[in-house]
Amino acid sequence: MKKLAWSSAIVAVLLLAYTAAGPFLTINAIRAAVQAEDSRALSKQVDFPALRQSLRLQLADAMVRGAGADVQSSLLGAIGLQLAGSAVGSGVDLMVNPVGLSALMRGRRIWNLSTGAPLLDDGGDATQTDLLADARYRYHSPSRFTATVRDDRGRPIVFVLTRKGIGWKLSDIRLPT
C-alpha cells in the first residue's frame, strides 16, 4: 500500500514538473521549427483558430483607431472601414495557417537569397530570426504563460501560450499599439 502511495506521489510530481516546463518546451520547439523552416513542426505548437481570431480583432481595432472619428462617423467612411476590415480578416486567414506559415518561411528564404543575405543553414546569424532570444517570461495563471519581447522601437510584443490538458500552444500574439 505504501508503494502505491509513493508511486502516485512521484507520478503527480513528475506530471506537475512537465506541465510547469511545458511553456519553455513549446517556445524551444517553436524556435527550432522556425530555424529549420519546418511549418509542420511549427503548426503543432500553434492554436490557429485562437491566434487568427486574436489577430483579426487587433488589426481591425488598429485600423479603426487609425482612421479617426471623422472617417468613422461618415457613411462612406464606415463602408470603407467595413470593406477594409473584411480584407484584413481574409489576409489573416490566408497567412495564419500551416500553409501560410510555410509560404512565409519560403518567402523569407527567397528574400534572403535575393538580397544576398546568408541563409541560416549556411552559417547565418541565428539571432536575427530568434524573436524570443531576449524574452521576459511570466506565468499569469496555471494555464496562461507569456513571453514578452521588444520591437525595434522598444514597444512590447507579447506571445501568449495557453495550456490545454498538459500541453501548451501559442494562442495569441499581442501586437504593439
pTM for the complete prediction?
Answer: 0.72
Q: Which residue has the cell 463602408?
A: 79
The tens digit of pLDDT for each residue in 11-30 reads 888 888 887 889 999 999 98
Distances from the Cα of 149 to the Cα of 81, 88, 158, angstroms: 31, 24, 6
Say how many domains are in the chain.
1
Which of 2-16, 40-54, 154-168 bottoms out in mean pLDDT, i.e. has the lowest? 2-16
- Check residue 125 and give its pLDDT: 47
Query: What's the mean pLDDT in 46-67?
Result: 84
Query: What's the mean pLDDT in 89-109?
Result: 69
Query: What's the mean pLDDT in 21-48?
Result: 88
The angle at the Cα of 140, spanning 138 to 142, to the nearest 5 degrees, equals 110
Exposed/middle/buried for residue 140 (C-beta within 10 Å: 0-12, 13-18, 19+): exposed
State what percent of residues in the chain have pLDDT above 90: 21
Q: The domain containing residue 64 runs over which residues?
A: 2-174
The tens digit of pLDDT for each residue in 112-160 reads 544 555 544 444 444 455 667 788 999 999 999 999 988 888 889 899 9
The tens digit of pLDDT for each residue in 49-58 reads 999 898 888 8
pLDDT value at 10 more than 80: yes
